Amino acid sequence: MRKWLMLACALTGVWSAEAQISTLIVTGQDGSHWWKGGSEKLEEILESDGMFEVGEWAIGFEQAAERLEGYELVVVNWGGEAPSEEARRKFEQWVADGGGVVVVHSSIVPMADWKEWNKMTGLGAWDLRSEKDGPWVYWEDGRVVYDYTPGWAGHHALQHPFTVTHRLPDHPILKGLPEEWEHVKDELYGKARGPAKNMVVLATAWDDPAVGGSGRHEPMLWTVDYGHGRVFVTAMGHAGNDPDMRYSMEDAGFQTTLLRGAEWAATGEVTQETTF
Ligand code: ZN
């Protein structure tokens, strides 16, 4: 899949031009979020360390499916409807053949009816999901719990800062990072449900019932293997309907895990030594 040989400049830590990971952002629709501002912020973060080169955005999966060739990474910031069957098959094939995907926050909400998309994200929320879509997945007593109790999927309390805890600190995406860190004000997504197959929970956050949470340690970062492809999901990164409301993407924990997760999704390894 890699078109470029990755060569890090040992002296400066800056990535050489031919080393860049070609990245396609899929965006353009999201009723509950400021998709344009959120996508601009994602592009800014991805281009901040020189490893990723973000091309012209794809407006929806219909357009993305036509432009996948030559890209190594697709970053999804999309809250719209699912594309045509043809576009679905193209995207599924691209991922199964080894494409890397990063899924941000509300992108786990739409397209409940696109079965393969839900396999890629592992977990989804809202959009009429329920026990029919899979178990509620959370962390308890040192392990992942798959809770098949019937119920709706998707929940968040009022936005608030919260602590993120790494559950697999030796995973390449997390290795060398603080195992606990404070995330800025965000929507803490909970009660997500999905097929949860080939899924690895990397980090969770306590969804405190005292502030309206679910009373579980909810997955915040996870990976899914899809064929030869790799998917990295961050449930964080709310961007509200106002230019001043991108604060949830502003902290180093969100940005560092996004960058490292993106490299892992694209290449299967993490060479960034960035920490915070
Ligand atoms: Zn949100």
Q: Could you tell me the distance, in angstroms and rounded to a whole number, from the CA of residue 239 to the centre of ligand 1?
A: 6
| Count of other CB atoms within 10 angstroms of residue 6 | 17
- pTM equals 0.94
Name the average pLDDT for the chain: 93
Interval 167-211: pLDDT, tens: 999 999 999 999 999 999 999 999 999 999 999 999 999 999 999
Interval 111-166: pLDDT, tens: 999 999 999 999 999 999 999 999 999 999 999 999 999 999 999 999 999 999 99
Q: Could you tell me the distance, in angstroms and rounded to a whole number, from the CA of residue 86 to the centre of ligand 1?
A: 29
Interval 32-73: pLDDT, tens: 899 999 999 999 999 998 999 999 999 999 999 999 999 999
Q: Could you tell me the distance, in angstroms and rounded to a whole number, from the CA of residue 106 to the centre of ligand 1?
A: 6
- The pLDDT of residue 92: 98
Q: Could you tell me the distance, in angstroms and rounded to a whole number, from the CA of residue 92 to the centre of ligand 1?
A: 26
Q: Which DSSP letter does residue 124 get?
A: B
Q: For residue 166, which of 222, 248, 124, 125 has the smallest C-alpha distance?
A: 222
**Ligand 1 ion local residues (Cβ < 5 A):** 106, 187, 238
- In the block, tokens 């949470």 appear at 213
Whether 165 contacts 181, CB under 8 Å = no
Q: What residue ranges do the domains of the chain occupy?
A: 2-267
- Confidence check: pLDDT of 79 > 70: yes
Interval 220-233: pLDDT, tens: 999 999 999 999 99
- In the block, tokens 């396999």 appear at 119
Domain 2-267 adopts which CATH fold?
Rossmann fold (3.40.50)
**Tokens matching residue 238:** 């709310």
- Confidence check: pLDDT of 4 > 60: no
- Confidence check: pLDDT of 216 > 90: yes
Q: Could you tell me the distance, in angstroms and rounded to a whole number, from the CA of residue 240 to the centre of ligand 1?
A: 7
Q: Could you tell me the distance, in angstroms and rounded to a whole number, from the CA of residue 12 to the centre of ligand 1?
A: 36
Q: Could you tell me the distance, in angstroms and rounded to a whole number, from the CA of residue 238 to the centre of ligand 1?
A: 4
| Count of other CB atoms within 10 angstroms of residue 2 | 12
Report the alpha-carbon distance of residue 258 to residue 236 in Å, rounded: 10
